[in-house]
Structure 1
Amino acid sequence: MKFNSIRNGIGIMLLVAFLSIPFLTPFQTYLSIPNQITTFHNQDNIDVPTLGTSVAVSSTDDNQVIQALGDTEFTTVSPGQSEIVYELAGLPIKKVNVDILDDFKVIPSGHSIGVNLQTLGVLVVGHHVIDSKNGKKSPAEEANIQVGDTILKINGKDISSMKDVAPFVEQAGDDGKALNVTIKRNEETFETKLKPTMDEKTNEYKIGLYIRDSAAGIGTMTFYDPKSKKYGALGHVISDMDTKKPIEINDGTIVYSSIKSIEKGNNGVPGEKHAEFSTADGELGTITKNSPFGVFGKLNKDLNNGEFNEPMPIALSSEVKEGPAKILTVIEGSKVEEFDVDIVNSVPQKFPATKGMILKITDPELLDATGGIVQGMSGSPIIQNGKVIGAVTHVFVNDPTSGYGVHIEWMLNEAGIDIYEKSNDKKAS
């Protein structure tokens, strides 16, 4: 009986000791050591937690990549791959892979821009009923053409604008024939027959569709690369105002815009910048992509960014911290200004994803002028500790002082700028 009591006591002590392991400081420190560190050459030093053990550097490249400054601090020597190894009694107990990328900088913009998009084909934005001799009907609905569809071709001929459609409709009506229409719906492309009908009121052949071939709006440019002239803006996709679907573009342009007034945001009602397109300086650049991460293209000319005209390093999503930051945006005319914000939350992302940050406007001047984040502010670059970390994208409707941001590395990726390119080349070799 006494022996069983001792055995049970030892068992309880071992159980308590085992359950206590996760709460021990050395164990917690061990768990806090990352498996992977990725950063840029010639920027910040690398700091890792200390375990009270020796730390060694092992390079996986021919050249020295990092150098120890102390037990837990390292400096970058050259781009490449390396390892930081924690050792206890000469035995490795933890390995940290280190990837040093080539130094990379962009110019943060903050300029207000006008955006002109030309759709791919023509976009179906609505149906209308025709008064025909056989009653009221919409030929397009009968042909299973839906709002949000894109008309790519008619009778095998590419359609690029609304004016391209009318001659086909008139000719088919006169001939009493149906049109062979190529439709794109989401990722599917198919053909359908669409027969124009005589409208008894106007004495014209019609197909019962409202269509659109362009869109325009304002936003903010986030960055541009002074070497390649590639840029990114808005931080989110441009959708059609009627269909609410992303606009597939054929091409597009951006121009300067000047802020004339601002409608302040209130709870439940987002505010808005009112701007005027400025065409005196011609087109700023082209638009080649409209994606969930913004609009992208190439500049025709260098931009004058005033006091923010110097290239600035970027931060990866893993380097963004909660706390103070700045945004660059325009609230009057075309002057880019800097305003205070707080990063409330940031999620390190291994793969491209939107809404990686939550930020809150704290600057009294900006709050007084706008009430917080307003339409037209999307794309305003976010800067923290001297680095471009992302862009403002969305406002919280019930709290206009707060909203989402997207990490800069995903916008660069969409712009066709691969910050990992040389590092990947070394891995492949």
Structure 2
Amino acid sequence: MIRQQRRKWLGSLLLLITALIVSSTPFQVLASLPDELRLFQGSLARWQISMPVMGTLTNSNPDILHVNGTEARQVNVDLSKPLSFEPRRTGETQLQLKWGSIPLKAVKVNVLPDIRVIPGGQSIGVKLQTAGVLVVGHHLVDTGKAKLSPGEKAGIHVGDMIVKINDLYINDMDDVKKIVNEAGSKHQSLDMLVVRGKEKVNLTLTPAKDAKDNEYRLGLYIRDSAAGVGTLTFYEPRSGAYGALGHVISDVDTGQPIVVGDGQIVQASVTSIEKGESGNPGEKFARFFNESHILGSITRNTPFGIFGKIKEQPQQHSHQEPIPVALAEEVREGPAKILTVVDGQQVEEFDIEIVNVVKQHFPATKGMIIKITDKRLLEKTGGIVQGMSGSPIIQSGKLVGAVTHVFVNDPTSGYGCFIEWMLQDAGIPLQKSKLKAG
């Protein structure tokens, strides 16, 4: 009986000691350390574990990472003092931390190439040519005998993109008009290839003759281009790759993302600002400046903005030299800056607060919630306004993201996306990844 009570007492004591150890600050720190650590080449990382014990740390590839200033494969470490990690070259290594023979933590370290970009903030004019012609509506053709929409009858939907007619690629409404009139005069039907979402559909359409003007019609409202104003987020001076806007460009009528056939960005100049207020987001009014002078191409339109190549450096720099970029996990709640234009072409710096950071392991547009705190910007704009999307967000000297959306009921606040996802869509991936924006 006494032996059983002693065993029971020892068991309870062991459980209590284990609970105290596990709940202690050092073990909580260990538990909070990531299973995977990403570092830029040339940077320096430190861990503060504060355990009053000696341990060993095994480094599977010391050529990639030095621990506490040494390139040894196994390092004796005093866990009461900070551990330092110095990335030497790109690649992966495995770290295994032990206390005696007891494993404490295993971490995979991925060393990434040092990426630096020039932050933007300049207002840009955006001119997009669609990859085909976009169907934005149906209309009835009065033939004198009946009113009908040949396009609707053929099964063409609003939001469809017509990319081919009779095996000819189409991206201009004038081309469509010529083909339709020629086929109509010969009483021929048209074979059309339509892109509907991710699906390709072959349809046959017979043009109808409008009795009023003797022109042949499809009974469709179509669009082949779009234009607007936004903000340049960054460009990479060596490759010329850039990113802007921070969100997808969608057709105003259909709400569908525009598939880029061709496009250009040009300089823009802010002429006035409609101040935002609750329930009514404000807007930058701008004009294209020196429209014939093309700054760069547009090759992609994704959930994270528009991307292409800069042909020459935009004017009105706020930063002449490239700055580091931040990984998504480096972004912290707290003070930050945005770069944007509120008058003419002058890029200015304004104070904001990053009030919430969303942990993201996959590309998603709403990575952080930001709040404008700069009194001068609030007085001028009321907060975030249309045309400000793409304004770069800088924290601790690093480019961390871009402004994307405003809260309709609170124009002082809105969303931002992580710069990591924009870099990926610009063709500057931080690492080989299976993740895709969508």
| Normalised TM-score (structure 2) | 0.89
Q: Which position in structure 2 is the counterpart of 1:61?
A: 61
Shift of 1:127: 0.9
Q: Quick check: 2:55–2:100 contact (8 Å CA) kept in 1?
A: no
User: Matched residue of 2:61: which SS?
Assistant: coil
Residue-pair matches, total: 423
Q: Which position in structure 1 is the counterpart of 2:111?
A: 100
Change (3 A) 1:152 1:33: same
Q: Give the Cα separation in 2 of the matches to 1:280 and 1:204.
A: 34
Q: Which position in structure 2 is the counterpart of 1:153?
A: 164
Shift of 1:265: 1.1
Q: Does 2:344 align with 1:318?
A: no
Give the superposed CA RMSD: 2.7
Q: Give the Cα separation in 2 of the matches to 1:102 and 1:172.
A: 57
Q: Which position in structure 2 is the counterpart of 1:78?
A: 88
Q: Does 2:414 align with 1:408?
A: no
Correspondence for 1:205 among 189, 212, 216: 216
Give the counterpart letter for 2:190 in structure 1. L
Q: Quick check: 1:122–1:211 contact (8 Å CA) kept in 2?
A: yes
Q: Quick check: 1:256–1:279 contact (8 Å CA) kept in 2?
A: yes
The aligned runs of 1:347-366 (5 Å cut-off) are 347-366=358-377
Change (3 A) 1:330 1:56: farther
Q: Quick check: 2:56–2:100 contact (8 Å CA) kept in 1?
A: no
Shift of 1:158: 1.1
1:50-74, Cα deviation, whole Å (9 max, x unpaired): 3333354433335252231683231
Q: Quick check: 1:125–1:210 contact (8 Å CA) kept in 2?
A: yes
The aligned runs of 1:368-383 (5 Å cut-off) are 368-383=379-394
Shift of 1:185: 0.5
Q: Which position in structure 2 is the counterpart of 1:50?
A: 50
1:7-32, Cα deviation, whole Å (9 max, x unpaired): 99999888877777764434422311
Identity among equivalent pairs (%)? 50
| Normalised TM-score (structure 1) | 0.91
Q: Which position in structure 1 is the counterpart of 2:75?
A: none
1:74-128, Cα deviation, whole Å (9 max, x unpaired): 1415124344443223543212222222222111011110000000110001111
Q: Give the Cα separation in 1 of the matches to 2:54 and 2:148.
A: 81
Q: Quick check: 2:335–2:351 contact (8 Å CA) kept in 1?
A: yes
Q: Does 2:45 align with 1:34?
A: no
Tell which deviates more after alignment, 25-34 or 390-399.
25-34
Q: Quick check: 1:59–1:81 contact (8 Å CA) kept in 2?
A: no
Q: Does 2:123 align with 1:112?
A: yes
Correspondence for 1:287 among 283, 293, 298: 298
Q: Give the Cα separation in 2 of the matches to 1:216 and 1:396.
A: 24
Q: Give the Cα separation in 2 of the matches to 1:238 and 1:53.
A: 56
Q: Give the Cα separation in 2 of the matches to 1:51 and 1:122.
A: 65
Which consecutive residues of structure 2, in runs of 5 or more, have no partner in the other structure?
A: 70-77
Change (3 A) 1:21 1:90: closer
Correspondence for 1:261 among 265, 272, 277: 272
Q: Does 2:252 align with 1:238?
A: no
Q: Quick check: 2:61–2:94 contact (8 Å CA) kept in 1?
A: no
User: Matched residue of 1:374: which SS?
Assistant: coil
Change (3 A) 1:386 1:95: same
Q: Quick check: 1:54–1:86 contact (8 Å CA) kept in 2?
A: no
Q: Give the Cα separation in 1 of the matches to 2:360 and 2:245.
A: 20
Q: Give the Cα separation in 1 of the matches to 2:68 and 2:359.
A: 26
User: Matched residue of 1:279: which SS?
Assistant: strand
Change (3 A) 1:5 1:49: closer
Change (3 A) 1:420 1:53: farther
Q: Give the Cα separation in 1 of the matches to 2:92 and 2:311.
A: 37
Shift of 1:179: 1.3
1:232-289, Cα deviation, whole Å (9 max, x unpaired): 0001110000101100010100001000001111111111100010126710000010
Correspondence for 1:166 among 177, 188, 199: 177
Q: Give the Cα separation in 2 of the matches to 1:73 and 1:38.
A: 16
Q: Give the Cα separation in 2 of the matches to 1:15 and 1:340.
A: 51
Shift of 1:150: 0.6
Give the counterpart letter for 1:188 in structure 2. E
Q: Quick check: 2:122–2:345 contact (8 Å CA) kept in 1?
A: yes
Q: Give the Cα separation in 2 of the matches to 1:302 and 1:210.
A: 38
1:355-376, Cα deviation, whole Å (9 max, x unpaired): 1111111111111111111111
Change (3 A) 1:46 1:101: farther
Shift of 1:296: 0.3
Q: Quick check: 1:33–1:49 contact (8 Å CA) kept in 2?
A: no
Q: Quick check: 2:337–2:393 contact (8 Å CA) kept in 1?
A: yes
Tell which deviates more after alignment, 44-53 or 19-28.
19-28
User: Matched residue of 2:216: which SS?
Assistant: strand
Q: Quick check: 1:30–1:51 contact (8 Å CA) kept in 2?
A: no
Q: Give the Cα separation in 2 of the matches to 1:32 and 1:335.
A: 44
Q: Which position in structure 1 is the counterpart of 2:398?
A: 387
Q: Quick check: 1:257–1:277 contact (8 Å CA) kept in 2?
A: yes
Give the counterpart letter for 1:391 in structure 2. A
Q: Give the Cα separation in 2 of the matches to 1:245 and 1:221.
A: 23
Q: Give the Cα separation in 1 of the matches to 2:373 and 2:143.
A: 60
Q: Does 2:98 align with 1:87?
A: yes
Q: Give the Cα separation in 1 of the matches to 2:293 and 2:4.
A: 91
Q: Does 2:343 align with 1:332?
A: yes
Change (3 A) 1:168 1:349: same
Q: Give the Cα separation in 1 of the matches to 2:351 and 2:60.
A: 42
